[in-house]
């Protein structure tokens, strides 16, 4: 399965797609990136005159790359180009350390902890362009072909 095939199977579209590309993927983990557009809808009002990316959006970016893209890769033998994988987030725990500003590119690194009975649990980290750790946590979900 290729990077383009994984991204094409994502059940998201603009303005709620937070995956630009994948640089590495295997049965053990995945690495991908996204650049937050300066005019994204969620910057209006978060915060007045000092916009930063909301933590819930950073968590969503980590889930889309670190959980959903990895889950699609893990189910590659069961999926086709016409399949719409079903995804449900079951839990997330994230610690935040640094802000992400409009226009910043982030990299998500995810390591599989568990994949059994279509439940995927990952350790996920998000880094800014300088390689600084922005946030980290564990995200779990159910993925079905």
33 catalytic? Reply is no
Q: Running DSSP on this structure, what letter comes out for residue 131? A: S
Terminus-to-terminus CA distance in the chain, angstroms?
15
Alpha carbon of 59 to those of 50, 53, 66, 143: distances in Å?
A: 20, 10, 10, 18
Q: Prior bond to 43 cis, omega within 30? A: no
Beta strand residue intervals within the chain, DSSP E: 21-26, 29-35, 86-96, 105-116, 119-127, 133-144
Q: Prior bond to 50 cis, omega within 30? A: no
Q: Which of 46, 123, 125, 136 is catalytic?
A: 46
What is the dihedral angle through the alpha carbons of 56, 18, 70, 141, rounded to the nearest 10 degrees?
Answer: 30
Catalytic residues: 46
């Amino acid at each position: 399965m290729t990077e383009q095939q994984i991204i094409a199977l994502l059940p998201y579209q603009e303005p709620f797609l937070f995956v630009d590309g994948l640089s590495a993927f295997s049965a053990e983990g995945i690495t991908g990136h996204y650049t937050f557009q300066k005019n994204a809808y969620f910057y209006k009002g978060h915060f007045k005159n000092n916009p930063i990316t909301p933590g819930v959006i950073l968590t969503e970016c980590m889930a889309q790359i670190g959980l959903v893209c990895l889950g699609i890769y893990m189910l590659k033998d069961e999926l086709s180009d016409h399949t719409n994988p079903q995804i449900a987030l079951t839990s997330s725990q994230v610690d935040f350390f640094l802000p992400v500003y409009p226009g910043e590119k982030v990299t998500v690194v995810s390591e599989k902890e568990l994949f059994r009975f279509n439940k995927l649990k990952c350790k996920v980290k998000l880094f800014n362009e300088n390689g600084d750790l922005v946030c980290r946590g564990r995200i779990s979900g159910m993925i079905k072909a």
